[in-house]
Amino acid sequence: MKYHYNIQEENNQIQKSEENVNLDIAYMEALCNRYGKDFDFISSTRLSSKHLKLIDKYYGIADGESILAFYSNRYIFNRAKEEILLSSKGIYWRSGQMNLDPSYLTWSQYAQATSAVDEVCYIQFRPDHIFQSRRSNILTEVLEDFYVYMASLLVTNNPIMYHYDQSYNHIGRIPTVRTYHDKWMLVENGMPLYPLRNNDIHWVIEMGQVDTAKLQVWKLGMSEWVYVEEVAELMKKG
């Protein structure tokens, strides 16, 4: 199963609420920084002062709102440049003329829109062709990470006890081929780690980058978190 984010400006299924889910912004920033070397996806640590001024000008970022990452596909299929901004409060996106107000969803609205869809297949914004660029795969990965993270917080026995601390996360670059397994949310001894797919989990276990005795996992469709040692498909390759 692939994740389907059906987020459109005129989508009446999205409840227009400003209520925010309880998120660890430092953790979300770390998820963005994990992919920050991509040419089109710019994480907050790589945004220059010039970038920040332009973002503030065009998106009207509020005081106390943190910028997590910025994505632009420039010009594709002879269409005008399209942009997506990820912030601590939600998602902004715009297309075409820069004098138009950007579209916006809080993270709560985003979670409501994604959780309403079952068997997903395609990520769709309006304009939806922003994801048709072959360079948009990193943005897709980040949004999948965010969705799995937010969904995991709603599980009754959610084991996260601490705010994210990068020094505790020993997962490095993972040289594995991307598969279409669902992503698992990982928490080690109360600390959230990166969401990973099956083959990535095999790698970090083999490399000793996680303590399996303290590692709990969850993915969409599960009623509760379990210890990784209880999941045969994660402890054994193949």
12 part of a folded domain: no
Q: Are 38 and 116 found together in one domain? A: yes
Q: Is the pLDDT of residue 127 over 50?
A: no
Does 88 fall in a domain?
Answer: yes
User: Where is mean pLDDT largest: 15-24, 97-106, 155-164?
Assistant: 155-164
| 52 and 125 housed in the same domain | yes
Q: Is the pLDDT of residue 4 over 60?
A: no
**pLDDT tens per residue, range 92-107:** 887 665 556 777 888 8
Q: Is 148 part of a structural domain of the chain?
A: yes
Both 138 and 216 in one domain: the answer is no
User: Domain limits at 46?
Assistant: 25-152
Q: What are the φ/ψ torsions at residue 65 (nearest 5 degrees)?
A: -95, 125
| Mean local confidence (pLDDT), 140-166 | 91
What pLDDT, on a 0 to 100 scale, did the predictor assign at position 120? Answer: 41
Q: Which residue, among 110, 115, 75, has the nearest Cα to 95 in the 3D structure?
A: 75
If you average pLDDT over residues 138-166, what whole number do you get? 90
One domain, residues 39 and 71: yes
Q: 127 preceded by cis ω (within 30°)?
A: yes
Does the pLDDT at position 168 exceed 70?
yes
Same domain, 146 and 184: no
| Count of the separate structural domains present in the chain | 2
Domain final residue, candidates 122, 152, 182: 152
Top mean-pLDDT range of 15-19, 45-49, 143-147, 225-229: 225-229
Residue where one domain finishes, among candidates 104, 119, 152: 152
Q: Is residue 159 part of a domain?
A: no
Same domain assignment for residues 71 and 110: yes
- Do 182 and 106 reside in the same domain of the chain? no
Cα 23 to Cα 88: distance, rounded to the nearest angstrom: 9
Dihedral pair phi/psi, residue 154, rounded to 5°: -90, -5
Task: Clarify whether residues 35 and 143 are in a common domain.
Answer: yes
Asked if residue 217 and residue 136 are part of one domain, the reply reads: no
Whether 57 is in a domain gets the answer yes
pLDDT for 47: 86
How would residue 179 be classed by pLDDT, with cut points 50, 70 and 90?
low
User: Do residues 78 and 47 share a domain?
Assistant: yes
Q: Write down the pTM of the prediction.
A: 0.81
Going by C-beta distance under 8 Å and a sequence separation of 6 or more, which residues neighbour residue 176?
199, 200, 202, 203
**pLDDT tens for each residue of 74-98:** 655 555 577 888 999 888 887 665 5
- Whether 116 is in a domain gets the answer yes
% of the chain beyond a pLDDT of 90? 34
Q: Tell me how far apart the alpha carbons of residues 195 and 146 are, in angstroms, rounded to a whole number.
A: 9
Helix, strand, coil % over all residues of the chain, rounded to 5: 30, 15, 50
Question: Mean pLDDT over residues 145-157, rounded?
Answer: 91
In a domain, 207, yes or no: yes
On whether residue 17 sits in a domain, the answer given is: no
Q: State the pLDDT at residue 15.
A: 41
- For residue 81, what are its two tokens? 């440049």
In the prediction, which pLDDT does 114 show? 64
The verdict on 129 and 177 lying in the same domain is: no
* Model confidence band, residue 173 (pLDDT cutoffs 50, 70, 90): confident
141 and 183 fall within a common domain: no
Q: What is the mean pLDDT of residues 131-136?
A: 63
Last residue in a domain, options 95, 128, 152: 152
| Mean pLDDT calculated for residue range 39-66 | 83
Give the per-residue pLDDT at 14: 38
Tens-place pLDDT, residues 198-230: 999 999 999 999 999 999 999 999 999 999 999
